[in-house]
Amino acid sequence: MAMSSLLPHSSSSSASLCSIISLHLIFLAIVLNASAHVDFSISTDRDSLLSFMSGIVADPQHALEKWNSPHLHVCNWTGIMCNHVKERVVQLDLSERSLQGTISPALSNLSFLSVLDLSGNFFRGSIPPELGALSAITQLSFDSNILGGGIPAELGLLRRLVYLDLSGNRLVGEIPATLFCNSTSLQYIDLSNNSLSGEIPSSSQCKLIELRFLLLWSNHLVGQIPPSLSNSSKLEWIDLGSNFLSGTLPASIVDKIPCLQFLYLSYNNLVSHDNNTNLTPFFSSLVNASRLQEVELAGSNLGGEIPSVVGNLSSSLLQLHLGENLISGSIPPSISNLVNLTLLNLSCNLLNGSIPPTIGLMGKLERVYISNNSLSGKIPKAFGDIPHLGLLDLSKNMLTGSIPESLSNLSQLRRLLLYGNHLSGELPSSLGKCVNLEVLDLSHNRITGLIPAEVAGLRSLKLYLNLSSNILQGPLPLELSKMDMVLAIDLSSNNFSGTIPAQLGSCIALEYLDLSRNLLQGPLPNSIGNLLYLQVLDLSNNRLTGEIPGSLQASSTLQQLNFSFNNFSGFISNEGAFATLAFNSFIGNSGLCGSLSGMPSCKKKRTRGHLLLPVLLTLFGTPCCILCLFGYPLVLKSRRRRSFAPFNGFTSEDEEQGKEAKYPRISYRQLVEATGGFNGSCLIGSGRFGHVYKGILHDETRIAVKVLDSDISGKIQGSSFKRECQVLKRTRHRNLIRIITTCSRPDFKALVLPLMSNGSLENHLYPSSGSDSQLSLAQLVNICSDIAEGMAYLHHHSPIRVVHCDLKPSNVLLDDDMKALITDFGIAKLVENSGGESDAIFDSASFTSTAGLLCGSIGYIAPEYGLGRHASTKGDVYSFGVLLLEIVTGKRPTDVIFQAGSSMHEWVKSHYPHNLDPIIEQALQRAAPPLVTAYSSKAWRDVIMELIELGLICTQSSPSTRPTMIDVAHEMGRLKEYLSMGAVLAIEAGLGGTWNG
């Protein structure tokens, strides 16, 4: 190879040439000197490996235990493979071993080594440049560690290197030109998810002719995409997303890569041709890629119109993502030639004109996003001809006309989002035929008439019904009570009249109810306050009368209430659910009085009877209270003892001792005594199927008793109880709630668990007024790491694989040491432990009695569940990602859905990567300690950025692109290790030193 091929950016300066020659001469001298003193034998390999082991400071899995055996041959050591002809080490694979330490330069003496894989550990420090002497190496994998520093230029001297993965570290600096210009055998390069800067090496002499995969996403790369990539005609996968790349879309490069299958250029600063006005040249260049499957160009402010040549792209194209750009003009009818497309995303652009009716020819579409544009005209009836369509989002356009009846043909439709248009006419009753519909949002339109009974009775709605801001009228249909699994109903800003039906109390899963700004009158039914999971209730600006039911004040779940501007009357106390409310929640009700701050006091009527009342209470109330407090156990003892079989322990695999676990016998009577007869004052929360009470046993053991609700059907209650018992008895992990025992009778079922004094994670994320329970960033990272470890165990290591299905902050408890414990397995799925993501769910109850409860909680539910797919471990990964983003942003996912009209992922992604400063600043104010220096500020910012990126990766729309919980736990462990290294704390404590990132 000509020496000029080593020069970066096609430079021919003598200084650069001398620098490269000097590098080669020096390195050659090192290699020759080393080889002159080394006895190339297996003993040399042994010494090199022992030197490497000396740099390991922690080996929690004892992976290197065999390495300490003086009688064991090197080739029998863990992770070692030898060439048995020459008896030399040819492979060192210690991936995913949780090793901590540094990578020793002594590995460079393994002269026959062809595979070096240290991925998925906690190695820090820099990559030794001496590794450039491994002339036989073909695979080098250091991904998912905490390595820093730059990429050694010497790695470019590995002429046989085929596979290089340095992703997921903390590497900085520029990509060495030698790596792209000298390693001609490379087929796979992954440097993604680091902090690399500078330009992609672009010398015209850089010919990676064997390169098939190039992944550089999520770095700080600038400059243009180098034309030299056109020399890599075998490229199949290019991912340069989430950088700061600029210049024109690389049409001339793509045109020469006929094998291209996946192209990701999203979230850069690229422009289209002719000063960002012409997309035709780029799409024309893609026509040559006959195997093209996915194209993503989102979030780059690309201008121009979608050219008609888009219809000439490969018939194998599955996904086309052009969202969040400045694309204008109309949608070309030729796009319907992409007959195998499953995802079309044109959202957040400047598109106008009408939606082409030929879209119905794209018969394999599953998800269509064309929201946030300026499209006009009617919704094509042809949408009803797409049999697999599961999600249709045409929101925030200027569409007119009525909702087509043909949408009722979509048997697979799960989410229909048409909000923010100018749709008129009546709500078609035929939508009631969409028996799989889980989300229906038609808000902010001009829809008139009544809610058809067929639509109001859609039992399939599991997420939310939003018909707000229309011109709907008439009474609230009684059929709404059939939506027993819906999580949110918003009928606000309409003209509904009549009374609120008491039957709404049958919507047992309801968490969010907004009936504000209507013409509703009459009293508020007591059944609304009995909804077990209701968190948000807004009844403001109606004509409601009477007293506010006491059941609302007694609710343990309510967080936001608004009764303002009605005609309510009566006394309001500042206790229970009302304790955190401001007077504004009740303003505009002249008949209300009470002890709430700002509310007028109730006038006392001074009658003789009222004057005698305190005296009577004093005389007779005190003995009654004493009797209730101390006589209650005596009364119980005097009653006839009921015949029942208390729980006496069930068989369980004890992973540490291999013995059957023994569970104490706790009777129903003991639970009654411990909780004061399940008194409301002992109520600490509500789960999916019941209430949780705190109590103290006779031996002073503090317990939490989860009592399954007897109001739900016995079949659901029994299957949920059985499922939770199965999970808790067969799993053992430090981050899972442990079971003390159970108590089961025909009319009573309860789980007895240890009481967690620090409550749930939700209590700390959203502390009540006046509470000082805000968590620090370090605590949050530790908690998230605990959660990830527990979920990884459930998914991959427990005797029976478990899909939790309802991971959220309220289902994470914190013990005395703030260690996180996952709880509430009432709707979990048990999966055969055979190893793949397609493992069959064998829990027979999963899809029968509790089928309606599969999806979990609103805002945390994976999008594929909305397309009818079965619960999977990747759904839990999605929920964990939402939890991460919730922690960073300080926003509940439900707030984002109902205020911004998007998912948590979409909302955060709209700010990523260039507009995150406001989010990071708010997170720093909430959770970071006082920032003493610029170094510590950067450190905490890095942590928050890592959490955001991991959250976005976990919440990707496609399950196949999400990591496993093992990967997530490893990433959280790395972040935890990063914080525990002490640099941040030392700086903040004013101990001096520097922070090198």
- Kindly state whether residues 660 and 699 are assigned to the same domain: yes
State how far the Cα of 823 lies from the Cα of 806, in Å rounded to an integer.
10
pLDDT for residue 406 is more than 70: yes
Q: Are residues 962 and 870 in the same domain?
A: yes
With cut-offs at 50, 70 and 90, classify the pLDDT of residue 618.
Answer: very low
Beta carbons of 912 and 981 less than 8 angstroms apart: no
Residues in the annotated binding site for ATP: 706
Same-domain pairing of 875 and 802: yes
What is the distance between the alpha carbons of residues 751 and 740, in angstroms, rounded to a whole number? 8
Residues 648 and 777 in one domain: no
**674 vs 417 pLDDT, higher one:** 417
Residue 963 tokens read as 């990591």
Residues 6+ apart with CB under 8 A from 223: 198, 199, 200, 202, 245, 246, 247
Higher-pLDDT residue of 319, 836: 319
Q: Which two tokens stand for residue 263?
A: 């192209």
CB 459 within 8 A of CB 484: yes
**What pLDDT sits at residue 714?**
47
- Average pLDDT in the chain: 80
pLDDT at position 519: 96
pLDDT at residue 834 is higher than 50: no
In a domain, 269, yes or no: no
841 shares its domain with 713 = no
Instruction: Place 933 in a pLDDT band, splitting at 50, 70 and 90.
Output: very low
For the CA atoms of the chain, what is the radius of gyration? 32
Q: Would you state the structure tokens that stand for residue 212, as one six-digit string?
A: 């098939």
CB-based contact 632:677 (threshold 8 Å): yes
Q: At what angle do helices 777-792 and 934-954 cross, to 10 degrees?
A: 30
Question: Does 729 score more than 80 pLDDT?
Answer: no
The 3-state DSSP class for residue 540 equals: coil
* Domain finish residue from 754, 787, 819: 754
pLDDT number for residue 8: 33
Does 955 lie in the same domain as 888? yes
Number of domains the chain contains: 2
Which of 355-369, 682-696, 707-721, 764-778 is the least confident region?
707-721
pLDDT of residue 70: 78
Regarding whether 933 and 792 lie in a shared domain, the answer is yes
Least confident of 161-165, 871-875, 979-983: 979-983
DSSP label at residue 795: I
Q: Do residues 729 and 785 share a domain? A: no
Which residues, 6+ apart, have CB-to-CB distance to 560 below 8 Å? 535, 536, 537, 538
Domain-ending residue, one of 754, 785, 818? 754
The 10 Å Cβ neighbour count of residue 62 is 10
For 821-833, what is each residue's pLDDT tens digit?
988 766 667 665 4
Q: Do residue 726 and residue 824 come from a single domain?
A: no
Question: Could you say which of 165, 393, 806, 824 is catalytic?
Answer: 806
Sheet (strand 56-58) strand order = 56-58, 100-102, 122-124
Structure tokens given for 354: 């009408």
Q: How many CB atoms lie within 10 A of CB 776?
A: 12
Residue 691's domain is classified under what CATH number? 3.30.200.20
Contact 635, 641 (CB under 8 A): no
Give a yes or no: residue 716 inside a domain. yes
How confident is the model at residue 667, as a pLDDT?
78
Q: What CATH code is carried by the domain that includes residue 964?
A: 1.10.510.10
| Length reported for the chain | 997
Domain-embedded: residue 942: yes
User: Average pLDDT, stretch 377-406?
Assistant: 94
Position 983 pLDDT exceeds 60? no
Reported confidence tier of residue 645, pLDDT bands at 50, 70, 90: very low
Burial class (CB in 10 A: 0-12, 13-18, 19+), 204: middle
pLDDT in tens, 11-68: 333 334 344 444 444 444 444 444 433 345 788 899 999 999 999 987 776 788 888 8
Confidence of residue 730 (pLDDT cuts 50, 70, 90): low
CA angle at residue 218 from 964 to 265, to 5 degrees?
A: 105
Please report the pLDDT score of residue 622 as a whole number: 42
Measured on CA atoms in the order 469, 474, 475, 480, is the torsion positive or negative? negative
For the annotated binding site, the residues are 706
Long-range CB contacts (within 8 A, 24+) of 776-779: 776/927, 776/928, 776/929, 777/923, 777/927, 777/928, 777/929, 777/940, 777/943, 777/944, 778/979, 779/818
Residue 538 bears catalytic tag: no
Q: Classify the C-alpha dihedral 242-243-246-252 as positive or negative.
A: negative
Distance between CA atoms of 526 and 66, rounded to whole angstroms? 69
Residue 708 domain boundaries: 643-754
- 343 in a structural domain: no
CA distance 353 to 26: 66
Q: Tell whether 915 is covered by a domain.
A: yes
Structure-model confidence comparison of residues 762 and 864, the more confident one:
762
Residue 836 lies in a domain: yes
Inter-residue contact 502 to 478 (CB < 8 Å): no
Angle, nearest 10°, between helix axes 965-980 and 934-954? 170
pLDDT digits (tens, 9 = 90+) for 224-243: 999 989 989 999 999 999 89
| Most confident of the ranges 310-314, 597-601, 865-869 | 310-314
Give the side-chain half-sphere CA count within 13 A for 667. Answer: 9
The pLDDT-based confidence of 711 (bands split at 50, 70, 90) is low
- Assess whether 700 and 842 both reside in one domain: no
Q: What is the dihedral of CA 336, 340, 346, 351, to 10 degrees?
A: 0
The amino acid at residue 257 is: I
Is there a contact between 849 and 868 (Cβ–Cβ < 8 Å)?
Answer: no
702, 728, 754 — which closes off a domain? 754
Cβ–Cβ < 8 Å for 313, 306: no
Residues 832 and 892 occupy one common structural domain: yes
Distance CA 561, CA 515 (A): 12
Please give the residue that has the higher pLDDT: either 289 or 845.
Answer: 289
Q: With 90 as the cut, is the pLDDT of residue 615 above it?
A: no
In a domain, 156, yes or no: no
Q: What are the helix and strand counts (H, E) for the chain?
A: 23, 47
Answer yes or no: is 909 within a domain.
yes
> Quick one: 654 and 802 in the same domain?
no
